[in-house]
């Protein structure tokens, strides 16, 4: 029997069944009990390889577990599926301060990596609110972005090499440690951003950066979305390339995170339409602070910033970021329907406006909260229905929003919500859909065509971060 074989590989304590599985929630936001047939917890690449080999031989579907911080149901395992969790693979293997690399197992949390880098005067720049729980393996598998994309790029730019295991147990060693390596195929790219469909990432070599010597932060208010985009161009140019974050909060989200029972208090009045958390990182604290304040003052004089508060301490900076990271505030109202959409900056205002107008016509009781990493063309939208909480309503909502995202210049997006996949057949991947840079807030549920990929997992599910 398969379960006995898996126990022989990882040990009895590391194959959870029955109530041990039910005692675990689907995710941090979705507290329903996990329904997987078993949760298997390998402790090494060799064990991952042997587990997948056994599952592959019997056609056993596998769902990959990371830190369970995702919001797109990529870790929802059914009763006939086995969950593969890398939670025991949490070792930081080495740090090379001269080469500025760190070698880690896939189950290490992002925050641990950041803290270990700081001990050596270095920076791991990929950062987002779930840093304390999100696993680096899931971050790479989903090519996660976060707060610093405008300066440092997506996770892809911070991975030099990796090791992955294919569905049949084959181990792919691609643990490159060099920044420049043009020797044939860059194999790691097959596994970054492909969401576990080609293999399970087990180890990584991460690129570290030198830590900034100064950080400047401010919260500003802009009267219109056009003013927001003008401010982005202005501040990026005025800071000469040191802009490291540009986070936009629409009014509804700002009021949510600065009104009790939220922990935050409003550093600026709640009456403005748009709020931007802007940050720069440089090497000269005195000069950088003066340059930052001059850039903010020039924006106010030009009229596209109407109010601002500039941080004078680390505590004030932390308080601003706590507002932006307070996504849990949305969940206090109930389970939302969430979308994480990337689209050209010029299309963003029109997209949000049309989504809001169309949903309000059909579901007036919906509340919406919009925020995002505007500097990298991403916006997150969460909505909660105060009256209709059934799956058909949410399925229709997802389809409407996804359809609008495709229509505003993204081409045919290959990323579809789970409900969309159930509602209609997915098209075969085309050049347009491969090039489209879009996320409609859920991971694809489809099998690669036989022979089309290096290997295919028994189910296309994301090892979520």
As its CATH architecture, domain 92-209 has 2-Layer Sandwich (3.30)
b vs e for 307-343, b when ≥16 Cβ sit within 10 Å of the residue's Cβ?
bbebbeeeeebebbbebbbbbebbbeeeebbbbbbbb
Q: Which residue in 127, 137, 126 sits closest to 67, CA to CA?
A: 137
pLDDT, position 395? 53
Q: Please tell me which of 107-111, 196-200, 417-421, 447-451 the model is most confident about, judged by mean pLDDT.
A: 107-111
Whether cis (ω within 30° of 0) applies to the bond prior to 261 is: yes
336-435 carries CATH number 3.20.20.70? no
Rounded CA gap, 427 and 339, in Å?
Answer: 21
Q: CB neighbours of 317 closer than 8 A, spacing ≥ 6?
A: 215, 217, 279, 311
Mean pLDDT of the 224-249 span: 96
- Name the CATH topology of 214-326: Alpha-Beta Plaits (3.30.70)
The answer on pLDDT for 241 being more than 60 is yes
pLDDT, position 167? 95
* Residue 109 backbone phi and psi in degrees, to 5: -75, 145
34-59, pLDDT tens digit by residue?
Answer: 999 999 999 999 999 999 999 999 99
CATH of 2-85, one of 3.30.43.10, 3.40.120.10, 3.90.190.10, 1.10.10.410: 3.30.43.10
Read off the pLDDT band of 374 (50, 70, 90): confident
Q: Is 11 left (phi over 0), alpha (psi -120 to 50) or beta?
A: left
Quote the tokens at residue 423. 């509602």
Same fold flag, 214-326 and 336-435: yes
Please report where in the chains the tokens 């691609």 appear, as a residue: 174
Residue ranges per structural domain of the chain = 2-85, 92-209, 214-326, 336-435
289-343, pLDDT tens digit by residue?
Answer: 999 999 999 999 999 999 999 999 999 999 999 999 898 888 888 777 777 788 8
């Amino acid at each position: 029997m398969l379960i006995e074989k898996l126990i022989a590989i990882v040990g009895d304590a590391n194959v959870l069944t029955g109530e041990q599985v039910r005692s675990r929630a689907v995710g941090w936001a979705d507290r329903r009990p996990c329904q997987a047939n078993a949760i298997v917890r390998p402790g090494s690449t060799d064990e991952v390889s042997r587990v997948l080999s056994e599952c592959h031989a019997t056609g056993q579907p596998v769902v990959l577990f990371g830190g369970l911080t995702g919001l797109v149901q990529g870790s929802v395992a059914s009763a006939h599926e086995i969950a593969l969790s890398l939670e025991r693979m949490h070792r930081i293997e080495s740090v090379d301060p001269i080469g500025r690399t760190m070698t880690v197992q896939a189950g290490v949390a992002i925050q641990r990596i950041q803290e270990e880098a700081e001990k050596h005067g270095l920076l791991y720049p990929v950062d987002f609110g779930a840093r304390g729980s999100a696993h680096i393996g899931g971050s790479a598998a989903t090519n996660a972005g976060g707060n610093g994309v405008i300066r440092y790029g997506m996770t892809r730019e911070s991975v030099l090499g990796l090791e992955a295991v294919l569905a049949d147990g084959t181990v792919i060693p691609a643990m490159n440690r060099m920044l420049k390596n043009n020797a044939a195929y860059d194999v790691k790219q097959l596994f970054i951003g492909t969401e576990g469909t080609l293999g399970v990432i087990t180890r990584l070599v991460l690129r570290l950066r030198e830590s900034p010597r100064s950080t400047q932060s401010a919260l500003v208010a802009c009267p219109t979305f056009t003013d927001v985009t003008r401010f982005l161009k202005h501040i990026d140019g005025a800071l000469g390339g040191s802009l490291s974050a540009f986070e936009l909060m629409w009014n509804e989200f700002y009021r949510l995170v600065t009104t009790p029972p939220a922990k935050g208090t409003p550093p600026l009045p709640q009456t403005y339409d748009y709020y931007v958390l802007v940050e720069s990182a440089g090497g000269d604290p005195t000069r950088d602070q003066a340059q930052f304040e001059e850039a903010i003052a020039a924006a106010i004089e030009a009229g596209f910033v109407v109010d601002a508060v500039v941080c004078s301490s680390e505590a004030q900076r932390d308080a601003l970021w706590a507002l932006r990271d307070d996504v849990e505030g949305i969940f206090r109202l109930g389970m939302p329907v969430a979308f994480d959409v990337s689209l050209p900056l010029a299309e963003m205002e029109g997209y949000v406006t049309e989504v809001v107008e169309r949903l309000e016509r059909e579901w007036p009781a919906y509340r919406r909260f919009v925020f995002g990493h505007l500097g990298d063309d991403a916006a997150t939208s969460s909505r909660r229905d105060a009256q209709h909480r059934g799956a058909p309503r949410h399925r229709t909502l997802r389809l409407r929003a996804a359809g609008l995202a495709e229509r505003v210049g993204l081409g045919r997006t290959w990323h579809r919500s789970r409900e969309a996949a159930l509602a209609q057949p997915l098209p075969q991947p085309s050049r347009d859909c491969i090039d489209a840079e879009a996320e409609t807030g859920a991971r694809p549920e489809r099998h690669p065509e036989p022979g089309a990929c290096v290997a295919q997992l028994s189910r296309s599910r994301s090892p979520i971060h």
